[in-house]
Structure 1
Amino acid sequence: MTTITSPGQRYQQCFARLANEQQGAFIPFVTIGDPNAELSFSIIKSLIDNGADALELGIPFSDPSADGVTIQNAGKRALAAGINTDICIDILKKVREYSPETPIGLLLYGNLVFARGIEKFYQDMSDAGVDSVLIADLPIRESERFRQAALKANIAPIFIAPPNASDATLAKVAQYSQGYTYVLSRAGVTGVDAPQTVTPSSSLSTERLLDVLKTNQAAPAVIGFGISTPNQVKSALSTGASGAISGSAVVKIIENNLANEQQMLGSLGQFVQQMKAATMLN
């Protein structure tokens, strides 16, 4: 396994390699343990094998307020299968062993951190090979304890740059985020049924966000929420972002193929290949 000496080091290496190869990053999201522990590991391996540049993984939670129905249902399936944080850690360790270089980020809710104890949570995740943690319901003004614990454990804290954020807020996001910066393409919850991520009207707002973040020397910007097609990946990268995250569209493939594991893994592989191909900039 690569020895990580600074928070976000795997992200830095990943983005540098992609920039050299004139590519953006494609980062799929799935919920750990959906629909069960064994198949979840196979799903994550399939994402890696078919071209995912990094991973964004969720820990199932009973009240996922930032998520739409598709990801809510993924969490319900995982919880019904008995998945808890300890099992998620076991899966994460297997993923890290399988792919020593792939950046692994977590997107989760604050109660999961509190339940384990802030410092213990971050240290346990570091021991499992996690590179970054984004807490969806953590206001940046209340983040100091979490940031300190993350950095102590050599984990990159990630914060969200929301649409229409003030320059002052974006400066804080740039200051505190390491590894990458999560840029929301729109307000609301996750979901493939939401409006298109980057439209002519929204791209101006996104480009403003990216300009302010760049001025403040932010970590590479990755656009998320509603990315479900290769064209949306291309549009996201055309704004100047370094990558795109797709969650609900990936999870929907799992949901639609619960009765056929091989078809599920095959469809996931095809989707990741198509989305990755859209990140080629030359």
Structure 2
Amino acid sequence: MTRIDDTFARLKAEGRKAFVAYVMAGDPEFDTSREIVLGLPAAGVDIIELGLPFTDPMADGPTIQLAGQRALSKGQTLDKTLQIARDLRDTGDQTPIVLMGYYNPIFSRGVETFLRQAKEAGIDGLIVVDLPPEEDAELCLPAQAAGLNFIRLATPTTDDRRLPKVLQNTSGFVYYVSITGITGAAAAQAGDVGPEVARIKAATDLPVIVGFGIRTPETARAIAQVADGAVVGSAIVSEIAQGRSPSEVLAFVRSLAEGAHAA
């Protein structure tokens, strides 16, 4: 059992849905990013997705692309990203942290070294969007052997033939991408998402969390009503891009969390 598994078990016992927040590590710079991450649990976040900045983020829209560029321009690195996770753990907080990004920085570090460092820093799971199930031996299986969840994305184009392959070796939860396209491209619609979530849940016992296109507390609530929880990323990153203070960003996050938890 990982912290992610424990969190979903607790939420289920409480009859609540999960709220997952994504922020880019190092955006707009290290100290502000660190302050925001450390404040997320108190803002009602059940699981933190910590973005690892990368120069070629092919699955991300302009908002998160620019966040990665800002972070990299300020010297954000893999080591500094792990340091943010380590700092949260040093406070004693046990909120699960999922590191989300691309394989290149991990491959460059070396899988064995990276997994050891991630585990030591308090990372609980990985979302690596450019490693399909056919490449599970690269990172997915070693990560699970190291005690980290490997979380896979399903999309509107994941048909019934492809779905079993996507679910193979997935753990922690399934991340359902509510729209076809990049992050921040469109608004999620609960009426469209509900049947897809039901289809995925019929094929797995894992929780199904929905992300992409959720920008308001109302949408977070509507999506959480038809899934096991909601993920918000671009809307939070947009607040940071507009120069909001950490307290203002966290107040916005709290409103989203309250929406999801009201489902």
Q: Mean Cα displacement is larger for which, 12-21 or 25-34?
A: 12-21
Aligned to 1:271: 252
- String of CA shifts for 1:36-91, please: whole Å, max 9, x gaps: 22111101112222111110011111111111111111111111111111111222
Aligned to 1:35: 28
Give the superposition deviation at 1:151. 1.4
Please, which of 180, 198, 201 is the counterpart of residue 189 of structure 2?
Answer: 198
Please give the root-mean-square deviation of Cα atoms over the aligned residues, in Å: 1.6
Aligned to 1:260: none
Whether 1:120 aligns to 2:106 is no
Contact 2:22 2:49 (8 Å CA) reproduced: yes
Give the distance between the partners of 2:262 and 2:170, measured in 1 at CA: 25
Contact 1:161 1:209 (8 Å CA) reproduced: no
* AA partner of residue 270 (structure 1): A
- Unmatched segments (≥5 aa) in structure 1: 1-5, 258-262
Q: TM (normalized to structure 1)?
A: 0.88
| Segments of 4+ moved more than 4 angstroms | none
- String of CA shifts for 1:76-128, please: whole Å, max 9, x gaps: 11111111111112221112222432010011001111111122212211111
Give the superposition deviation at 1:15. 1.4
Give the superposition deviation at 1:21. 2.2
Q: TM (normalized to structure 2)?
A: 0.94
Whether 1:91 aligns to 2:119 is no
Give the distance between the partners of 1:182 and 1:251, measured in 2 at CA: 19
Contact 2:207 2:228 (8 Å CA) reproduced: yes
Whether 1:82 aligns to 2:68 is no
Whether 1:157 aligns to 2:157 is no
Please, which of 11, 24, 49 is the counterpart of residue 18 of structure 1?
Answer: 11
Give the superposition deviation at 1:249. 0.5
Aligned to 1:167: 160
Please, which of 101, 107, 122 is the counterpart of residue 108 of structure 1?
Answer: 101
Contact 2:37 2:84 (8 Å CA) reproduced: no
Number of aligned residue pairs: give it.
Answer: 263
* AA partner of residue 224 (structure 1): G
Give the distance between the partners of 1:266 and 1:89, measured in 2 at CA: 23
* DSSP 3-state at the match of 2:214: coil
Give the superposition deviation at 1:167. 1.6
Aligned to 1:233: 220
* DSSP 3-state at the match of 2:231: strand
Contact 1:105 1:133 (8 Å CA) reproduced: yes
- String of CA shifts for 1:123-147, please: whole Å, max 9, x gaps: 2111111010011111222222211
* AA partner of residue 251 (structure 1): V
* DSSP 3-state at the match of 1:183: strand
Aligned to 1:210: 197
* AA partner of residue 230 (structure 1): P
- String of CA shifts for 1:136-163, please: whole Å, max 9, x gaps: 1112222222112101211111111111
Aligned to 1:219: 206
Aligned to 1:56: 49
Give the distance between the partners of 1:244 and 1:60, measured in 2 at CA: 22
Whether 1:132 aligns to 2:125 is yes
